[in-house]
């Protein structure tokens, strides 16, 4: 048992209370380790706002979600007016609950803003090499948060029980039926019935408000703990722990509190102004944040002209639609080409090269014998899963894009443009030109990562300074 610390009997009441807590719970220790004595690089820039903003939006979503759950009913049956009870409860929140419209719009806007912030946060990690050693686990936890966030958003998308909710769930859940052997049973397990209905709504509601948020919160805590264990990266990609003063403090670091807590207030203020402008003046955001078809009650007998997921899923939805039967021949050609290069360039022995050839043959046979719909699902999932392997795909001798060859900046810009184009095409109904562009975009997306071990080593790299570059402002 640890010894209790004592304070003077004449100490202020606040100090006595804090001492009483510290003897039973490490409050002051946690405050020092994660705020006042956590040293962060002094050269953080605009890109470092988005981590704290993601935490802010998470709090907004939890708080508004609690109030929405108080009035929402997950019931797909029809009421006396012939409207699904779940849809009617959303209308009740919007029309009759005091400030219900505000809470609902904050939650719906928060869902989209969450992905805006997370995408920017991940892009910052991409350009500054925040996934490189020793931060591999920080990145993996971050990718897991992104994956769980997608599941949370999809399940929440179903709850209004409008036309897009119902038919979007119908399309996505049916994708699982494309999995060989277990697909039909897996789809039934997810739906809870043979069709999307009351059982689906209830289980998605349960996961959305209880199970998935618990996993999400656990991953966020793990992400922050892992980050504070190894320290934050910076735009130069330099480890500030390598240069310490006589007291053992990084010479290029400053305490997170009060410096960066005050710094982040600027980001929070700007974000809340944008957030409030959307909530009060454009909550549907032209049909991107709240689709117009979702203001129509779910009707299993009326299929909307065009079904597309919310904007933050559309890049991956484009990749799903890009995988057609003819696209499979291109993918098989890519596998064969990769195997040939592996055999020619690899230093493996005869057994290793034979394994590459056998693996390529087996993969090609499976790709041509199994329905393209299944491989579309694999591609869509693989587009997220491949992010987990980024720390081992990047072989660049430097972390930050600042010290990489100039052409790397154009490549990353092209990657962003490609991702945005895929997202836009995912919103539109299928058309021939769009299909071709999405197929090229899908190949570029995967090529960017799969060829990274090769292209990340090319070019002339700039010398990395021994200390961070910082200009007071």
Please tell me the predicted confidence (pLDDT) of residue 143.
97
| Residue 350 scores a pLDDT above 80 | no
**pTM of this prediction?**
0.94
| Residue 322 scores a pLDDT above 80 | yes
Residue 473: pLDDT band with limits 50, 70, 90: low
Distance (Å, whole) CA 51 – CA 123? 12
Please tell me the predicted confidence (pLDDT) of residue 2.
62
Instruction: Enumerate the β-bridge partners of residue 39.
Output: 255
Q: Any residues with CB less than 8 A from the CB of 378 and at least 6 apart, and which?
A: none
Q: Any residues with CB less than 8 A from the CB of 452 and at least 6 apart, and which?
A: 390, 393, 394, 395
Distance (Å, whole) CA 129 – CA 306? 39
Q: Which of 90-99, 100-109, 305-314, 419-428 has the lowest mean pLDDT?
A: 305-314
Which of 72, 226, 87, 200 lies closest to 145 in space, CA to CA? 226
pLDDT tens track for 2-39: 677 888 888 898 888 998 898 889 899 899 888 888 99
Mean pLDDT, to the nearest integer, of 246-274? 92
Confirm whether residue 71 is marked as ligand binding: no
Confirm whether residue 228 is marked as ligand binding: yes
Confirm whether residue 121 is marked as ligand binding: yes
Please tell me the predicted confidence (pLDDT) of residue 393.
95
At 197, give phi and psi (nearest 5°).
-160, -150
Cα 276 to the chain's mean position, in Å? 23
Mean pLDDT, to the nearest integer, of 343-362? 80
pLDDT > 70 in the chain, percent: 99
At 198, give phi and psi (nearest 5°).
-60, -40
Mean pLDDT, to the nearest integer, of 217-244? 93
At 288, give phi and psi (nearest 5°).
-85, -40
pLDDT tens track for 437-446: 999 999 999 9
Mean pLDDT, to the nearest integer, of 262-268? 94
In angstroms, the Cα distances linking 49 to 106, 110, 264, 266, 423 are 21, 17, 6, 9, 24
Please tell me the predicted confidence (pLDDT) of residue 105.
97
* 398 in Cβ contact with 233 (< 8 Å): no
Distance (Å, whole) CA 389 – CA 131? 10
Distance (Å, whole) CA 157 – CA 108? 9
Distance (Å, whole) CA 313 – CA 293? 17
Residue 339: pLDDT band with limits 50, 70, 90: confident
Q: What mean pLDDT, rounded, does the chain reach?
A: 91
Confirm whether residue 223 is marked as ligand binding: yes
Phi-psi region of 409 (alpha: psi -120 to 50; beta: other; left: phi over 0): alpha
Which of 107, 58, 68, 109 lies closest to 218 in space, CA to CA? 58
Mean pLDDT, to the nearest integer, of 78-92? 93
Domain spans of the chain, in order of start: 32-295, 317-455
Cis amide prior to 271 (ω within 30 degrees): no
Residue 360: pLDDT band with limits 50, 70, 90: confident
351 vs 279: which has the higher pLDDT: 279
* 179 in Cβ contact with 186 (< 8 Å): yes
DSSP one-letter string for 346-382: ----HHHHHHHHHHHHHHHHHHHHS-HHHHHHHHHHH
What secondary structure letter does DSSP report for 253? E
Residue 357: pLDDT band with limits 50, 70, 90: confident
Distance (Å, whole) CA 338 – CA 224? 38
| Residue 233 scores a pLDDT above 80 | yes
Q: Any residues with CB less than 8 A from the CB of 287 and at least 6 apart, and which?
A: none
Please tell me the predicted confidence (pLDDT) of residue 369.
84
3-state secondary structure 89-147: HHHHHHHCCCCHHHHHHHHHHHHHHHHHHHHHHHHHHHHHCCCCCCCHHHHHHHHHHHH
In angstroms, the Cα distances linking 419 to 64, 412, 416 are 30, 11, 5
Residue 81: pLDDT band with limits 50, 70, 90: confident
| Residue 351 scores a pLDDT above 90 | no
Mean pLDDT, to the nearest integer, of 253-275? 94
Distance (Å, whole) CA 163 – CA 465? 56
* 163 in Cβ contact with 298 (< 8 Å): yes
Q: Which helix (H) or strand (E) holds 41?
A: strand 39-41
What CATH architecture does domain 32-295 belong to? Up-down Bundle (1.20)
Residue 117: pLDDT band with limits 50, 70, 90: very high
| Residue 1 scores a pLDDT above 80 | no
Mean pLDDT, to the nearest integer, of 377-388? 94
Confirm whether residue 306 is marked as ligand binding: no
Residues comprising the chain, all counted? 473
Crossing angle of helices 407-427 and 314-322, rounded to 10°: 80
Mean pLDDT, to the nearest integer, of 356-372? 85
């Amino acid at each position: 048992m640890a010894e209790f610390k004592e304070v003077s009997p004449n100490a202020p009441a606040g100090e006595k209370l804090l001492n009483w807590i510290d003897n039973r719970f490490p409050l002051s220790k946690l405050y020092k380790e994660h705020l006042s004595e956590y040293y962060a690089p002094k050269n953080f820039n605009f890109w470092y706002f988005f981590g704290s903003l993601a935490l802010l939006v998470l709090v907004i979503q939890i708080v508004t979600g609690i109030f929405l759950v108080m009035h929402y009913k997950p019931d797909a049956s029809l009421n006396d007016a012939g409207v699904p009870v779940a849809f009617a409860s959303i209308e009740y929140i919007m029309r009759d609950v005091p400030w219900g419209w505000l809470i609902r719009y904050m939650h719906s806007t928060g869902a989209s803003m969450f992905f805006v912030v997370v995408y920017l946060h991940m892009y910052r990690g991409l350009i500054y090499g925040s996934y490189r050693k020793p931060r591999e686990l920080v990145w993996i936890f971050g990718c897991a948060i992104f994956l769980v966030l997608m599941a949370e958003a999809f399940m929440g998308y179903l709850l209004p029980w409008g036309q897009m909710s119902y038919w979007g769930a119908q399309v996505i859940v049916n994708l699982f039926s494309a999995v060989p052997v277990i697909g039909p049973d897996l789809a039934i397990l997810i739906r809870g019935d043979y069709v999307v209905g009351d059982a689906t709504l209830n289980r998605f509601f349960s996961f959305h408000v209880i199970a998935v948020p618990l996993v999400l919160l656990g991953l966020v805590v793990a992400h922050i703990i892992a980050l504070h264990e190894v320290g934050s990266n910076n735009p130069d990609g330099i480890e500030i722990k390598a240069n310490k003063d006589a007291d053992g403090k990084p010479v290029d670091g400053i305490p997170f509190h009060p410096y960066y807590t005050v710094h982040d207030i600027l980001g929070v203020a700007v974000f809340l102004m944008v957030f409030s402008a959307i909530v009060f003046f454009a909550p549907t955001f032209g049909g991107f944040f709240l689709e117009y078809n979702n203001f129509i009650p779910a009707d299993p007998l009326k299929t909307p002209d065009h079904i597309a997921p919310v904007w933050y899923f559309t890049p991956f939805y484009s990749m799903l639609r890009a995988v057609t039967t003819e696209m499979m021949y291109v993918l098989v050609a890519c596998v064969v080409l990769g195997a040939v290069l592996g055999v020619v360039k690899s230093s493996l022995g005869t057994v290793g090269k034979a394994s590459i050839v056998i693996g390529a043959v087996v993969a090609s046979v499976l790709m041509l014998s199994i329905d393209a719909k299944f491989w579309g699902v694999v591609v869509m999932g693989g587009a997220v899963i491949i992010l987990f392997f980024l720390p081992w795909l990047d072989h660049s001798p430097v972390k930050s894009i600042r010290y990489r060859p100039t052409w790397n900046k154009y490549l990353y810009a092209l990657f962003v443009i490609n991702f945005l184009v895929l997202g836009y095409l995912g919103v539109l109904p299928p058309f021939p030109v769009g299909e071709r562009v999405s197929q090229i975009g899908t190949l570029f997306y995967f090529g960017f990562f799969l060829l990274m071990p090769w292209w990340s080593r090319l070019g002339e790299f700039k010398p990395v300074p021994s200390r961070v570059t910082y200009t007071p402002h």
